Structure 1
Amino acid sequence: MIKGVLLGFASFAAYAISDAFVKSLHGSVPPYESVFFGAVFGLAALPFMMSPGDKWRDVVTARRPSLWWVRAVAGAVGNIASVTAFTLLPMAEVFTLIFLMPIFVTLLSVLFLKEHVGWRRWSAVFVGFAGVLVVLRPGFRSLGAGHLAALICGLFAAASVIALRMAGPHEKRISLYGAGVVGPLIAGGMLMIPRFIWPNWHEWGLLAGYGLLAALAGVLLMYATLIAHANRVAPTQYSQMLWAIGFGYWLFGDHLDWPMLIGIVMILGAGLFTLVREEKVTPWWKRAKMV
């Protein structure tokens, strides 16, 4: 269990560093092009995701194709929105809004999984969205496309989780990972064709770091959930906030004010509470082979 949790921390550290790489592009490469090349480099993880007996066609085939496509589309939209948000906003602010994902999962689970949500989890939903208002402070500060993109990323990440809960017990690990790579690969590739910008050597290095570190993070997360329950590994994702604050301060000159810090605490607290309650009410990790 301890090894699995430590692998979870390592995985989300790799994800955070990957995000720092793409933010370092400063928008010099369009988001959809960054997503495409990130997915190309992300293919490096496929051999490590394969189990004995798996075939390469399993990357793009599934026992429940509709859910595979839901994850593929959610991965495409979520990745493009994520890169857009990191390009326009401080890292900590992006993670704050993306970390609404457990709250969105609660709402979507009511709609699509018909799960019962008690007053405690509804209270966490309320606190989470109150935290968003504290962070964004509409009317007191300017809001832009980056904030919308971060919220879209969190929402589509939640949709991907719901699809995973429904498909997890029935699909191969390579298929679950493949949907998350093929979707961004196709969408990013199609969108970048009209206005393709050839990256320079420095940008190639940043794109490689973005894609390869994300692939490494996916492999580490897979092994983490193989040796520890996913409900024990999932909270380690919040360690990304520490990386975001550190990277934002030291690398990008970001600064957080007190209202934003209060909002961050509210959202993180609501998300962690939601994960704890779901462990007691909905033991979903038994229905999923990986996070």
Structure 2
Amino acid sequence: MTAASTTLRGVLVAFAAYAVFAFSDASIKALHGTVPSFQVAFTGAILSLAALPFIKGPGDSWLDIFRTTNRPLWLVRFAAGATGAIASIITFTKLPMAEAFCLLFLLPSFVTILSVIFLKEDVRWQRWAAVIVGFLGVLVVLRPGFRELSVGHLAATIGAIAAAIAIVILRKLGPAEKRLSLYGASLLGTLIVSGLLMLSQVVVPSLQQWLFLASYGLLGAAGNVMLMTAARLAPATLVATPQYSQMIWAIAFGYLFFNDSVDLPMALGIILIICSGLLTLIRERKRQVPLPAAVASGDAQSQIATTPVEGEAEAPMR
């Protein structure tokens, strides 16, 4: 098989992975808030354990889930994983899908800002321009002062910031940190935090609700495994870029199943936000740093899938 055909396979698998993530998020929306967010996050995290055998490397131990080269940063990822998962679930419960994606797609902009603050990265005008374009797009979508903002908008912003913190920590730890440890930090955070918080309000799901919960958790795990497969076949930029196809799924699901609509200002804002993200991805690729991957996975794990581990080249081409 030629390198070109292998790369094409990787890109196609990436498109399929982001579609799977979109179906996972639509499952949250389909619950219509009938199951508490903490319980949804806990159930999703339990089902996400299914991805662990695919993430475990040949020389890894299951205890590597708890091991780390930097415990304080591991604990921050622990907290960020829980926060991001719960916030994302609230976002898709409260907002139309396209609007939820618009705010979550601010992830690359938040990564840029946090990288300057905590990693002391040298950010040039091109990346700052992308950040400004992204925030302008959000202003066009939200139109503050002309429409009422809700807890869903706040949750989306918190979710994007939490995912950005997780990625900045990923960059700080570097490829020496095992992928199993990185995945374990966020997964354990979601399990423990949401498990404790849901104790005050637990409902017994109906059969249909169980199906949506299973769809959310298992599809999220499957998306991560597919994204990891794509990263082995194609360069990271080509794997990360198709994430914006999730917006197409969001608009389609919103229109067909949830009676959502997209007006002209929102369409313009979506275009600006996508342009901002693509500009950031191009700049990140030139700097050869871990790329922000899918932002819509409720378990906030998808950036792990395209991250090289120790001794592994980034997104190798065969």
TM band (smaller chain): over 0.9
CA distance in 2, matches of 1:5, 1:277: 19
Q: Which amino acid aligns with 1:59?
A: I
Mapped pair 1:183 → 2:198: no
1:102, 1:158 within 8 Å by CA — same for their partners in 2? yes
Mapped pair 1:174 → 2:193: no
Residue 264 of structure 1 and its aligned partner are, at CA, apart by 0.7
What runs of 5+ residues in structure 1 fail to find an aligned partner? none
Mapped pair 1:235 → 2:241: yes
Instruction: Provide the alpha-carbon RMSD of the alignment.
Output: 1.6
Q: Which residue matches 1:201?
A: 207
Q: Which residue matches 1:27?
A: 33
Residue 63 of structure 1 and its aligned partner are, at CA, apart by 2.0
Aligned length: 290
Q: Which amino acid aligns with 1:63?
A: T
Mapped pair 1:138 → 2:138: no
Mapped pair 1:54 → 2:60: yes
Q: Which residue matches 1:210?
A: 216
Mapped pair 1:110 → 2:116: yes
CA distance in 2, matches of 1:4, 1:177: 22
Q: Which residue matches 2:308?
A: 289
CA distance in 2, matches of 1:139, 1:6: 41
Q: Which residue matches 1:37?
A: 43
CA distance in 1, matches of 2:226, 2:173: 21
Q: Which residue matches 2:162?
A: 156
Aligned-pair identity (%)? 53
CA distance in 2, matches of 1:174, 1:182: 11
Residue 167 of structure 1 and its aligned partner are, at CA, apart by 2.1
1:229, 1:285 within 8 Å by CA — same for their partners in 2? no
Q: Which residue matches 2:129?
A: 123
1:22, 1:86 within 8 Å by CA — same for their partners in 2? yes
CA distance in 2, matches of 1:57, 1:41: 19
Could you tell me the TM-score, scaled by structure 1's length?
0.96
Residue 173 of structure 1 and its aligned partner are, at CA, apart by 1.8
CA distance in 2, matches of 1:207, 1:180: 19
Q: Which residue matches 1:258?
A: 264
CA distance in 2, matches of 1:25, 1:140: 29
Deviation beyond 6 Å, 4+ runs, structure 1: none
Residue 191 of structure 1 and its aligned partner are, at CA, apart by 0.4
Structure 1 residue aligned with 2:280, among 264, 274, 279? 274
Mapped pair 1:249 → 2:255: yes
1:131, 1:263 within 8 Å by CA — same for their partners in 2? yes
What runs of 5+ residues in structure 2 fail to find an aligned partner? 1-6, 292-305, 310-314
Mapped pair 1:220 → 2:239: no
Q: Which amino acid aligns with 1:124?
A: A
Residue 122 of structure 1 and its aligned partner are, at CA, apart by 1.0
CA distance in 2, matches of 1:138, 1:96: 15
Residue 285 of structure 1 and its aligned partner are, at CA, apart by 3.8
Mapped pair 1:87 → 2:87: no
Residue 9 of structure 1 and its aligned partner are, at CA, apart by 1.1
Give CA deviations for 1:138-167 in whole Å, capped at 9, x if unaligned. 110111100111111111111111111122
Q: Which amino acid aligns with 2:289?
A: W
Higher helix share: 1
**Deviates further, 177-186 or 101-110:** 177-186
1:9, 1:236 within 8 Å by CA — same for their partners in 2? yes
CA distance in 1, matches of 2:141, 2:198: 33
CA distance in 2, matches of 1:198, 1:155: 32
